[in-house]
C-alpha cells in the first residue's frame, strides 16, 4: 500500500500538473508489483510545449517541498517525460503516446489512487 509520504507527493504533483493544464490524471498504486515504487501518476499534455511545462512544474514544486528527483527522461523530445522521485514516478505524456503505450492497461491490476486537486485554473 502506498505510504503517506507517497500520497503527499502525489498531491503536490497532481496540483502542479493541473496548474499547467495537465489532463486525465490517473494515479496507480504499484507498490505490490514494484517494491521500490509506491505510485505512478499519469498525466496528459496537449502539445510538446505543454508536456514540458507540466513536467517542469511538477519537478519544481516537488523540489520546493524537499523531494529529490532521482531521474528524468524524455525532456528533450517532450512526448513522454518520466520523472522518478523514488516512491513516486510521474509519466507526462503527449496524447498520442498516452494512447499508444496505454500504461493503464499494462497496470490494470493495480488499484487506482484517488487524485484530488484543490487548484482552480481559468478556462482555456
Q: Write down the pLDDT at residue 35.
A: 85
What CA–CA distance (Å, rounded) separates 63 from 70?
A: 11
Q: Write down the pLDDT at residue 1.
A: 84
Q: Compute, in degrees rounded to 10, the torsion defined by CA atoms 10, 83, 92, 35.
A: -60
Q: Write down the pLDDT at residue 2.
A: 84
Name the CATH topology of 4-113: Beta Polymerase; domain 2 (3.30.460)
Q: Which residue stretches of the chain have pLDDT < 70?
A: 119-124
pTM of the model: 0.91
Q: Write down the pLDDT at residue 75.
A: 87
Q: Write down the pLDDT at residue 124.
A: 42
* Tally of CB atoms within 10 A around 6: 21
Residue with cell 510538446: 48
Amino acid at each position: 500500500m502506498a505510504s503517506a509520504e507517497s500520497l503527499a507527493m502525489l498531491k503536490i504533483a497532481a496540483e502542479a500538473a493541473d496548474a499547467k493544464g495537465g489532463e486525465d490524471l490517473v494515479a496507480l498504486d504499484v507498490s505490490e508489483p514494484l517494491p521500490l515504487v509506491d505510485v505512478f501518476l499519469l498525466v496528459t499534455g496537449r502539445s510538446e510545449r505543454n508536456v514540458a511545462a507540466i513536467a517542469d512544474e511538477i519537478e519544481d514544486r516537488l523540489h520546493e517541498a524537499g523531494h529529490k528527483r532521482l531521474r528524468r527522461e524524455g525532456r528533450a523530445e517532450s512526448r513522454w517525460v518520466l520523472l522518478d522521485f523514488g516512491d513516486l514516478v510521474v509519466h507526462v505524456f503527449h496524447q498520442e503516446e498516452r494512447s499508444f503505450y496505454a500504461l493503464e492497461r499494462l497496470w490494470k491490476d493495480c488499484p487506482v489512487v484517488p487524485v484530488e486537486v484543490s487548484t482552480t485554473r481559468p478556462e482555456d
